[in-house]
């Protein structure tokens, strides 16, 4: 039986979500239309907004529906930067971290390359833990030039959790808006938008058992941003385009279920990941567990194997019916060292020998058993192949 352990890339759609998604796809009507069909579609959309707001503790008007995480990150980073910088051109610095998702880093780097922005990266240690004291020192000297801060709630590759409330508390002193990509965190640890102090937060559904193409930007009511695209003025005039009521309904149910089961599932996942770490260490005594001594997501384990290529491990395990990842799926097909592992101070070779296992709502104990059964042979084969790159 094939085993799937790559939920941080995407997770199998939940049966309940699939049923709802299919039923709402058959509905007729543009939510902007005034006839009964359109108003029914609008009702589906607004009900979804209410459900998401309840699940993550925000106001319903703060939920801006998008096509997913990448769009939400771009809308937040570019939109907030443009708004702040247009009012005060001296505010052209964006603060982030070297291990951020490419949806964040690439959006920032585009602003650096074409919009005269500057980037300051918060230093981190070899566990991926951010140096908050360094951030404070930087702001003491440069706060008047900072347009926004963008730091993910938890790293999607190595699982380290960042102190978002601490960062927003520091930023509040200088009235600096903070955005966080919370995709890896939502459903695995408590995520409360109102208590976080964030100005904006990115979420999506397909990592939790929803359909691909469903996401949202949670934008505080008093936070301004310049739209990235223009048209009909939907979603508070911030994201034009006909709203997808079906995806919104599916996203809402996905998040509601994921949040409701989060505490119980986290306990189960913690036990499973401890089994994985112990089992792998018995076979590969030289393995490095990324962020092992940091606060990490309960569903995430990231290994580094000296003398092995992660791709070799991936292909050998896949041939035995076990699907895992070497890192972020958003750089899939590009053979190169992980920028996240490099940010920990690892060498290029070490950053090529990675393996990421992420658990989800459908993970069973038998999946862990299957991985631990297949791993010794795969590790032996990868060790024998060494660091030879094809």
What are the tens digits of pLDDT across the range 283-298? 999 999 999 999 999 9
Query: Can you give the residue ranges of every domain in the chain?
Result: 3-10+262-385, 15-257
Contacts of 315 (CB under 8 A, 6+ apart): none
Equal fold, 3-10+262-385 vs 15-257: no
Is 330 annotated as catalytic? yes
CB-based contact 324:188 (threshold 8 Å): no
Q: At which residue do the structure tokens 């053979």 appear?
A: 335
SS3 state at 111? helix
The pLDDT > 70 percentage for the chain reads 97
Q: What average pLDDT does the chain have?
A: 95
What are the tens digits of pLDDT across the range 160-183? 999 999 999 999 999 999 999 999
SS3 state at 54? helix
* Residue 63 confidence (pLDDT) above 60: yes
For residue 390, the model assigns a pLDDT of 43
What is the domain class of 3-10+262-385 according to CATH?
alpha beta
User: Cα–Cα distance between 373 and 366 in angstroms, integer?
Assistant: 10
What are the tens digits of pLDDT across the range 315-325? 999 999 999 99
For residue 326, the model assigns a pLDDT of 87
User: If you count them, how many residues does the chain have?
Assistant: 390
Residue/partner pairs of 107-116 with CB below 8 Å, 24 or more apart: 107/73, 107/74, 107/77, 107/78, 108/77, 108/150, 110/78, 111/77, 111/78, 111/81, 115/81, 115/82, 115/85, 116/92
Identify the active-site residue in 330, 342, 372, 387: 330
The pLDDT > 90 percentage for the chain reads 87
Q: For 187-192, what is the mean pLDDT? A: 98
| pTM attached to this predicted model | 0.95
User: Cα–Cα distance between 255 and 204 in angstroms, integer?
Assistant: 9
For residue 333, the model assigns a pLDDT of 53
CATH code reported for the domain at 15-257: 3.40.640.10
What are the tens digits of pLDDT across the range 117-164? 999 999 999 999 999 999 999 999 999 999 999 999 999 999 999 999
The tally of CA atoms less than 13 A away on the side-chain side of residue 270 is 11
């Amino acid at each position: 039986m094939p085993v799937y352990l790559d939920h941080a890339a995407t997770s199998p759609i939940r049966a309940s979500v699939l049923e709802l998604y299919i039923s709402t796809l058959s509905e007729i009507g543009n939510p902007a239309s005034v006839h009964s069909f359109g108003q029914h579609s609008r009702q589906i959309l607004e009900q979804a907004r209410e459900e998401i707001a309840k699940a993550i503790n925000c106001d319903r008007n703060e939920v801006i529906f998008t096509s997913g995480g990448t769009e939400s990150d771009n809308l937040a980073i570019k939109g907030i930067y443009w708004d702040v910088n247009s009012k005060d051109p001296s505010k052209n610095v964006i603060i982030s971290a070297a291990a951020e998702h490419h949806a964040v880093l690439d959006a920032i780097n585009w602003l650096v390359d074409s919009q005269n922005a500057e980037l300051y990266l918060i230093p981190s240690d070899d566990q991926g833990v951010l140096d908050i004291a360094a951030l404070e020192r930087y702001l003491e000297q440069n706060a008047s030039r900072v347009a926004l801060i963008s730091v993910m709630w938890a790293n999607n590759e190595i699982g380290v959790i960042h102190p978002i409330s601490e960062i927003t508390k520091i930023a509040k002193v200088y009235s600096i808006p903070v955005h966080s990509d919370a995709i890896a965190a939502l459903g695995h640890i408590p995520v409360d938008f109102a208590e976080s102090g964030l100005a904006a937060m990115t979420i999506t559904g397909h990592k939790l058992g929803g359909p691909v193409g469903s996401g949202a930007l949670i934008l505080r009511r008093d936070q301004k941003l310049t739209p990235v695209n223009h048209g009909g003025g939907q979603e508070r005039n911030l994201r034009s385009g006909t709203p997808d009521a079906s995806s919104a309904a599916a996203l809402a149910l996905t998040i509601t279920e994921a949040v409701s089961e989060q505490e119980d599932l986290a306990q189960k996942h913690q036990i499973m990941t401890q089994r994985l770490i112990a089992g792998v260490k018995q076979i590969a005594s030289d393995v490095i567990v990324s962020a092992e001594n940091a606060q990490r997501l309960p569903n995430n384990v990231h290994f580094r194997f000296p003398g092995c290529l992660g791709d070799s491990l991936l292909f050998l395990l896949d041939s035995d019916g076990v699907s895992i990842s070497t890192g972020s799926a958003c750089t899939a097909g590009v053979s190169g060292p992980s920028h996240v592992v490099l940010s920990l101070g690892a060498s290029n070779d070490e950053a090529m020998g990675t393996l990421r296992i992420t658990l989800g709502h459908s993970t069973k104990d038998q999946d862990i058993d299957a991985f631990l059964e297949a791993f010794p042979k795969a590790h032996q084969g990868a060790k024998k192949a060494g660091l030879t790159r094809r």
